[in-house]
Chain A
Amino acid sequence: MSDESKKEAMKQLRAERKSSIQKAAATVKQQKKELKLLKEHLTGDGATAPEIAEAIGINVSQVIWYLATLKQYGEVVEGTKDGCYFKYQLVETDSAEAA
């Protein structure tokens, strides 16, 4: 389809999916905010999920969910063990991009 008609079709699709798009956008906004906070606390030797949760005021189960996710996408690695918990560290930016 031509650029023009595609633009029009996209517009229409956006209108159709308005509510789910809004919901997704709100989710992304929240995720971005929380991930930014979380990553700020992953510098240096890293930290455990409860330590991060305590520091940034997010539920610890949500923190471990983010950590597991970032690990899947190569942005975080598991570090040393601290008691019953593992520390998590940010991957150097270069390799994160490569991943």
Chain B
Amino acid sequence: MADGQTITCDALVVGGGIAGLQSALDLADQDFSVVIIEKDLSIGGKMIRLSKVFPTLDCSSCITTPKMASAAHHKNITIHTWCDLKFLNSSDGIVRAHVTQKPRFVDEDKCIGCRKCEYACPVYVPDSEQGGFCATKAVRIPFSNAIPQVAALDPEFCMLCGKCEKVCPTGAIDYFQKPVDFTIEAKTAILATGFEMTTIKGKPQYGDGDVQNVITSLQMERLLAPHGPYNRVLRPSDGMEPDSIAFVQCAGSRDKSMGIPYCSRFCCMYAIKQAMLLSGSLPLADIIIYYMDIRAFGKGYEQFYQNAKAMGIQFVKGKVANIQQADDGAVAIRYEAQDGTGVTTENHDLVVLSLGVFPDWSPKGICPVSTGKDNFIQTVQPSIAPTLTDREGLFVAGAAAGPKDIVDSISEAGAAAMEASNYLMALGK
């Protein structure tokens, strides 16, 4: 794409996660033209990074990749990845977005995704797509089922040694690539900007990120994923197969002292799911979930929870007071049990924190859409039209309007697409 270019379409979808993809597909299937902009190197959002999904235990890829592929190949959908949204507003039936596409240092049209550059690159870089548990290279395909299958070079770790350029069969490496600014002119937009999770850092009671073998739930997803860093569950401090794994629920949610007073909504279910998957791969391990309330509210969720109990996963009601390093890489959890045994300390080989969920994108300074006091995008008719924002022509779907599991995000994405379609119809498309 040329710098300064303007693209026109019927609908802009901000965010290529599961909600954005579903909205885009539901609009495009009605013959509206759609542009998706995605901040990451690949579409797929959080969902494509997961192992399996509750309550069906389908592999997450099996559900996400077909939607990614159908969006990527849809005649009415254009996808731009690695983009920063600089400005977005709607007025008089026109939605205008200013976007900067960051340089990948790889020509997207020339790259054929052969990974020769990645194999040739001598620099090992912590792979954030694998929870940091192993390395990728300074130039790489982001992950195995990324779309687009186009390499990207991280200039922070690049020595400019030229090896990638030499091996590239199509001459796609471009060390001089510059950011490209472009404008999208649409008639409506759907904000599907998703969520992010708080980090362990800054939580002294949970070890501030300094206790070995205390990991986040997204890291556990990688350990359980088919293409995970170890292809099995090992504890990251020394590669030991864990005998005892604990989940700490509400580690950052429902807690004003953590800055997140609300419920993060899907942590109970993914912890139960991870526990189930662990008990499948490590049948002899003790698996304990420390919780306040189990919120298994969706279709089939309660039955899923009861199955987990029947499988021998232990549910301990109690608030975890603190987490400390114990001997030999073990993790000591101190908690107050509500069964009357009082304050108890228990050691585990691996501890997973169900951290808080917060909005991944703030419209502040970019888009005049309002947010609630929870910082998620505010909706103006929360009961009968939950996807309407306070800006005409701008709609919201998925976790951008509050934590939401995949099922609810997909449903809401369809609803946002319907409202956006009708807005387009009213404009006289």
Q: Which residues of A contact B (CB under 8 A)?
A: 9-10, 13-14, 17, 20-21, 24-25, 27-28, 31-32, 48-50, 53, 60-61, 63-69, 71-73, 78, 81, 84-86
Q: 3 shortest A-B CB distances, which residue pairs?
A: A68-B134, A49-B239, A64-B239
Known: A61-B212, A61-B236. A73 touches B119 (CB 8 A): yes
* Distance of A63 from chain B, by nearest CB (Å): 8
Q: List 28 A-B contacts (CB under 8 A).
A: A9-B176, A13-B160, A13-B175, A14-B160, A20-B158, A21-B158, A27-B124, A27-B157, A28-B124, A28-B159, A31-B123, A32-B122, A48-B239, A60-B239, A61-B236, A64-B230, A64-B237, A64-B238, A65-B236, A68-B133, A69-B124, A69-B135, A72-B136, A73-B119, A78-B232, A84-B243, A85-B240, A85-B241
Chain B residues closer than 8 Å to A68, beta-carbon distance: 130, 133-135, 229-230
B124 touches which of A13, A31, A50, A71 (Cβ 8 Å)? A31
Chain A residues closer than 8 Å to B124, beta-carbon distance: 27-28, 31, 69
Question: Is B138 in the interface zone, CB < 8 Å from A?
Answer: yes
Cα distance, A11 to B176, chains bound together (Å)? 12
Question: Is B156 in the interface zone, CB < 8 Å from A?
Answer: yes
Cα distance, A79 to B81, chains bound together (Å)? 39
Contact A61 B157 (CB under 8 A): no
Contact B123 A24 (CB under 8 A): yes
Known: A21-B158, A65-B134. A86 touches B239 (CB 8 A): yes
Which residue of chain B lies nearest to A73 when distances are taken between CB atoms in the complex?
A: B119
Chain A CB within 10 Å — which of B119, B130, B156, B159 has the most?
B159
Known: A31-B124, A64-B234. A20 touches B239 (CB 8 A): no
Contact A21 B160 (CB under 8 A): yes
* Distance of A37 from chain B, by nearest CB (Å): 15
Q: Please, how many residues of chain B have a CB less than 8 angstroms from a CB on the other chain?
A: 31
Chain B residues closer than 8 Å to A71, beta-carbon distance: 134, 230-231
Question: Is B204 in the interface zone, CB < 8 Å from A?
Answer: no
Chain B residues closer than 8 Å to A67, beta-carbon distance: 239
Chain B CB within 10 Å — which of A9, A31, A32, A68 has the most?
A68
Chain B residues closer than 8 Å to A64, beta-carbon distance: 230, 234, 236-239
Contact A24 B241 (CB under 8 A): no
Cα distance, A86 to B234, chains bound together (Å)? 9
B157 touches which of A20, A48, A65, A73 (Cβ 8 Å)? A20
Contact B159 A61 (CB under 8 A): no
Chain B residues closer than 8 Å to A25, beta-carbon distance: 159
Which residue of chain A lies nearest to B137 when distances are taken between CB atoms in the complex?
A: A73
* Distance of B86 from chain A, by nearest CB (Å): 24
Question: Is B283 in the interface zone, CB < 8 Å from A?
Answer: no
Which residue of chain B lies nearest to A86 when distances are taken between CB atoms in the complex?
A: B239
Question: Is B202 in the interface zone, CB < 8 Å from A?
Answer: no
Chain A residues closer than 8 Å to B243, beta-carbon distance: 84
A10 touches which of B130, B160, B212, B238 (Cβ 8 Å)? B160
Cα distance, A61 to B234, chains bound together (Å)? 11
Which residue of chain B lies nearest to A11 when distances are taken between CB atoms in the complex?
A: B160
Cα distance, A20 to B117, chains bound together (Å)? 20
* Distance of B107 from chain A, by nearest CB (Å): 14
Contact B238 A61 (CB under 8 A): yes
Contact B135 A85 (CB under 8 A): no
Chain A residues closer than 8 Å to B280, beta-carbon distance: none
